[in-house]
C-alpha cells in the first residue's frame, strides 16, 4: 500500500531512526498495518547486547509511533513540513512479551482510538510471525515549531 519512497516523503526520520519499511494496509482514519525488517546491521545491536542481540523495547514503541504518524497524516490529508513535528505525548500499558532478534520481521498494527484537542490516542501491537512482541497505547500530537 505504501513503499519506502512514499514513507520517506512523509516521515522526517532517516537512518538509523526510520523504523517503518513498508505499509501493508491502511484504512483511512481507522488503522494501519506496517512492517519493519530487523537485521543484524542495526546499529543498536552492537551494544544491546554484544553477546545476545535484542532490539530495545523503546524502539518497538517508536516503530509503532512512526506507523501511527503515517495513519494520522493520511487521515488529515496532510504532509508534514520542516515546521511541523509529530511528538509522543504519552505511552500507557506498554508490555513486552518476547525478545526481537536479528532476522525477525515486525508487523505493527495501530488503530486510532480517538482524536481530542489535537491529541491522537492509538492502540498498537507488534507481532513477530503470530507472536505478540509488544503492545501499548500511544498518545501523539503535532506541533508547529518556530
Collapsed DSSP state (helix, strand, coil) of residue 81: coil
H or E segment to which residue 46 belongs: none
Q: For cell 509503532, what's the residue?
A: 64
How far is residue 88's CA from residue 24's CA, in Å, rounded to a whole number? 23
51 is catalytic: no
CA nearest to 36, candidates 106, 123, 92, 102: 106
Sheet strand arrangement including 105-116: 22-27, 31-37, 105-116, 119-128, 131-144, 84-96
Catalytic residue (choose from 13, 48, 51, 127):
48
Q: How open is the CA angle 94-96-97, to the nearest 5 degrees?
A: 135
Catalytic residues: 48
Amino acid at each position: 500500500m505504501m513503499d519506502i519512497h512514499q514513507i520517506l516523503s512523509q516521515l522526517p526520520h532517516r537512518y538509523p531512526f526510520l523504523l517503518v519499511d513498508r505499509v501493508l494496509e491502511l484504512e483511512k482514519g481507522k488503522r494501519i498495518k506496517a512492517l519493519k525488517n530487523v537485521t543484524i546491521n542495526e546499529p543498536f545491536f552492537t551494544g544491546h547486547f554484544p553477546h545476545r542481540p535484542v532490539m530495545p523495547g523503546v524502539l518497538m514503541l517508536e516503530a509503532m509511533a512512526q506507523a501511527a504518524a503515517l495513519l494520522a497524516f493520511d487521515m488529515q490529508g496532510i504532509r508534514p513540513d520542516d515546521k511541523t513535528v509529530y511528538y509522543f505525548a504519552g505511552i500507557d500499558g506498554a508490555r513486552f512479551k518476547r525478545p526481537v532478534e536479528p532476522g525477525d520481521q515486525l508487523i505493527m498494527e495501530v488503530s486510532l482510538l480517538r482524536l481530542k484537542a489535537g491529541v491522537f490516542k492509538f492502540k498498537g501491537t507488534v507481532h513477530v510471525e503470530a507472536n505478540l512482541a509488544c503492545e501499548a497505547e500511544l498518545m501523539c500530537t503535532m506541533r508547529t515549531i518556530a
